[in-house]
Amino acid sequence: MISLPVVCDGVRHAELDIVSIPGLPTLHPQYKLKDHQQWLREVLRHQIPHARIMAFQYDFAKDSTDISWRGLENEAVRLLYSLVHRRESARGRPIIFICYSFGAFILKKALLIAKVNPDFRSIFDNTGGIIFLACLNYEEFPGLEEVCLKCAAVEFGTKKKHDAVECLRKSEDWSILKNVMENFRLLRCTFPVRVLYETKTTTVSGGLSTMFARKAECLCTEHVSSLGWENEKLIGIQKDHGELIMYPHRGDTDSQGFFESFMRTIIELVNHTCPPTTNAMFGADDFDDTAATWTIIPELTHAATGLSVQAPGLNRTIPTATRREIKVPCYVMGSYEISADFVARENVLSRIHQVLDPISGDLSTQRVHVVAGLGGTGKTQIALSYASSHQDTYRVVLWADADGQAKLSESFILFARELGLGDLNSLQAKQAVKECLQDIEVNFLFVFDNADGDNKKELMKEFWPGKNVRGSVLITSRDQTLLDSYAGLELTELDPEDAMNLLLNLTSTKRTRMPERALREERVAAAKIVEKIGYLPLGISQAASIIMNEALSLIQFLEAYDARDIIEDFEDVSGAVVDNTYKYSLRTVWNMNFDRLTPDQQGLMKITAFLDPDRLQIAMLKDGASRAKDPGLSFMDTSRKFWKCHSGLCRSNLVSQSIDKKELRMHRLVQASCQLRMEPYERPVNFNRAVALIKAVWPVPERMAVHNPSLWDEQRALLPHVQKLCEFYVRSCERGDALIAEEDVNWDFASILYEAGWFCYESGLLQSVAFLLENAEKYCLARLQRGGGYRILADIYGGLGSLGTESNQFQKAYDDFSKQWHFLNLAFDAHELKRPSIWEVFGLGRLGNGLHGLHRYSEAETYYRKCLETWKGLPGDQKIFTTHLATCLWLQGRLDEAEKVVRAIIKDWNDTTNFRTAMAMYCLGNIQIAQSQELTENGERESAQVKLSDALRIHAKVSSLWDITLGVTHHKSADAKYKLAWHFHYVKEYGKALEYLNKAMEIYVSQPEIFKNEIARTKYKLGCVFQDMGDTDRGSSHINEAERIRQEIVPPEDWAPAQGEEDFDEIVQFWTR
């Protein structure tokens, strides 16, 4: 143990030494050596940047059965020798001492010796001031011995009789203690002294000894704390003894509180010791070697679009995303077109434009309008009509499918491409489009269509197009509660006259030569038909299709309609689709259309009834049927067979086709009706055919390269279909008629749920992971007794554990990884897998991750080494688990070994092929920060600065690499931005620190439940920066909010107030630190 480590050697050249001496730290349960040092490093270095800060360490009471006050006296000599060693080249530098409780006894004895000993005289002569906290200074105070014992008991953290306290009570050295106190008090030194004493009572257990009973009292009162010197100032603090001997929390918001009082006190002493003429403000040149970093990393000075780092191995420029010229005008309407049978409700379109019009509407804020209503009322067609007819008003129109995170992500990728922002992944596209719309200087319309999911509000918040007042936002939804939050209207059925005219117009060719009487009869029939259909545009369109295709008059249709009992209410469909009850007679209309299809065409319709109805990719349907080799799909397994089925569906009007002829679209009510008309035995058959079709076209990455962004576009397009399959399966289980019975086994279903869940995890769609994987888990567990399934269940637990690591659920992650390992072993026993296997490699490595997250570093290291040993001879990139091994060594304090391990795998410092190299570099930067702190403690200032500068260069490169390989909105990119903010804060570049912290926070808050821990840590850091800038109230507010969130995260039995940044580092995953 170094007796006097240097915690900080000044942000610039040191002009002052500050020495902190703790109380009786060894046995206190809350005392940690790192707390002693990190508080000084994190707080004082910012307030006093020209100070070298040192922390005295001693082992008093290491043996609680053999201690005495003489032990403290001996520590005084060690303090003096340590100071002489540290001050060899700066003997004339002033010193300020900070003493806690019995640390004052050590200092007093040291200064008494220094005053008379020439070897130490410079220490006495250069003492510029002392701050005493909870210290006993008046030896003649009545009952001093009892107060000493009570203070010692509190500092040891014991509430019962304790050996150490009893040993001190029986000590024969009380005279030594009192003599030192008296002799020092009689010195009456000229340097200023500040005494912080407690005004809050402390409760000490009566079980400590028979000398005092249990009661609450102030221990270090003003009387016993006073030296009686003229240059002494006494300051009462509303803390008890146990609180006053610990470092003050940054979140203490009271202006008269501990933190504020302590900071005012030490700044006063510093200003007295270092007059303003020498304690001048400093600029970038005062940062020594670190200063050069700001001018050689263009990204950090916003001076270039590339990142060029002038260091060995880091001397090439890599491209970064640049802002491109926006393509205007830009109209992205997806695959939608206005239906030929659309009824323009002019009053509705006028009301929408009245709210959204950027010219005559509200120009002070962004305008939002909701069109809400039941399915089939024409919401999408109304929105499409408005967007299409006002392109002279809006220079940019973007149409987003809002039915889930995956569809919104895909919409944003298309927006980015059409706006000229480039071919970006989902996270990059979301960020780029939002930034573009926030800054764009033309009027734009953004449409959220089908915002119907349970999490629609959270999704719209995540994808909301900024707050630019040039923007107008139109939302269509079945959820009428949105009208409570935004302006809007409820779209109901057509009025009877419009409904009748629509049907007459759609069937007009059948009446061109009818006599007047027949025409009147047709109008009466039309009125009756639309009334029974409920005046819904969708139903009217379907009825017209039947009338035209079967060459019926309206009277003939009405007779057939009655014959088929179409008057029955359509409650079954309503229950399957929404909570609202339909009282419309549509089901028979769709049944009539369905009956006109051939058996093969009906077969395709039944399969699509279990897929996502909004985007039925024709290539997916055709290729899936041909690749699946499923006998149940043989009716469309060739191009000729498929196109016959396809043409029949398009003619039926049950589906619509996109403008580019690449996709089909089916209304949700039509899909629900199709499912309901199936016989109970048909539903599982067609569901399994849909599973086989999707399984055949889903691109699966190789096991040794599970992170494969080249597959993401295909996977993203198929994801909504897997989500629909999962949703339909879950609903069927809840109803008690499972689409796959428990006695049946279809491992392909579990497999596609896993693959889709893993894609969501890899691509950053973390909110979608649990729904897929947890239902896959339930499915497998219910069927294990049927044989097989061990490997896929192991994969599922690996995915759930990985989600746990990303969302900081440390125990759950370990539990899931343990289950993965269990089922892997069963898979090997059942010959589903054969050793050596890459599955075993990942199982071992992930167990290491689980243990690592629980801070069980030694055990984690063992599994990482087993993982890498097993990997020998197998394909794949070993960087990830090698990096985790290096991180594990770093956190165990084995810095040189950690550096050697991680440097060996960094071959290309500009690797943009995947994120793994940058992850290794991130780890190396953290190791270098720790090495810098270690060198600082040993007094090697210049070497420490070189290490810190190297760490900054590497972390800046990592930020750029992750922006490219993962996207600027990926959570790892946020981690890198947080780390850059840490560097800027460290050297008092507060503006840049805030900039990068806010960038990181913007990413984290997009998924607040997933990144709750990172949000807490970032809020705490923001608070620290604000405090160090002088904005104490704002800083304290952030810190207290961070502490509130942290308290929600940490189990009650483990929670204690945070002492500094490291307590917030503890709640995030190890690779995020």
For 14-49, the pLDDT digits (tens) are 889 999 998 876 545 555 555 667 778 888 878 888
Share of the chain above pLDDT 90, in %: 47
Instruction: Tell me whether strands 330-332 and 396-401 are parallel, antiparallel or unpaired.
Output: parallel
Answer for the pair 131, 265: CB distance below 8 angstroms, yes or no.
Answer: yes
For 390-425, where are the alpha helices, taking DSSP H only?
405-419
Task: Give me the domains of the chain, ranges plus CATH numbers.
Answer: 6-138+174-200+218-273 (3.40.50.1820), 330-490 (3.40.50.300), 496-593 (no CATH), 968-1073 (1.25.40.10)
DSSP characters over 329-351: SEEE-TT----TT----HHHHHH
- Amino acid (one-letter) located at 292: A
For 892-940, where are the alpha helices, taking DSSP H only?
895-903, 916-937
Mean pLDDT of 660-676: 83
* 3-state DSSP assignment of residue 605: helix
Between 286 and 1065, the higher pLDDT residue: 1065
Q: Angle at Cα 187 formed by Cα 185 and Cα 193, nearest 5°?
A: 65
Pick from 174-183, 386-395, 474-483, 545-554: least confident: 545-554
Answer for the pair 813, 978: CB distance below 8 angstroms, yes or no.
Answer: no
pLDDT in tens, 811-840: 999 999 999 999 999 999 999 999 999 999
CA-CA distance, 925 to 954, in Å (whole number)?
6
Cα 59 from chain centre: 41
- Amino acid (one-letter) located at 176: I
Q: Is the pLDDT of residue 572 over 60?
A: no
Q: Using 50, 70 and 90 to split pLDDT, how confident is the model at 767?
A: confident
Q: What is the predicted pLDDT for the residue at 171? A: 72
Share of the chain above pLDDT 70, in %: 86
CA-CA distance, 412 to 157, in Å (whole number)?
57
Type and span of the H or E element at 194? strand 193-198
Q: What is the predicted pLDDT for the residue at 312? A: 38
Mean pLDDT of the chain: 84
Classify the C-alpha dihedral 472-366-322-717 as positive or negative: negative
Number of C-beta neighbours around residue 29 at 10 A: 9
Q: What is the predicted pLDDT for the residue at 62? A: 60
Q: What is the predicted pLDDT for the residue at 671? A: 86
Mean pLDDT of 778-806: 93
Peptide bond into 329 cis (omega under 30): yes
Q: Using 50, 70 and 90 to split pLDDT, how confident is the model at 584?
A: very low
Mean pLDDT of 106-130: 95
Number of C-beta neighbours around residue 254 at 10 A: 11
Q: Is the pLDDT of residue 300 over 80?
A: no
Classify the C-alpha dihedral 466-469-471-476 as positive or negative: positive
Q: What is the predicted pLDDT for the residue at 36? A: 67
Among 33, 29, 57, 53, which residue's Cα sits nearest to residue 43?
Answer: 53
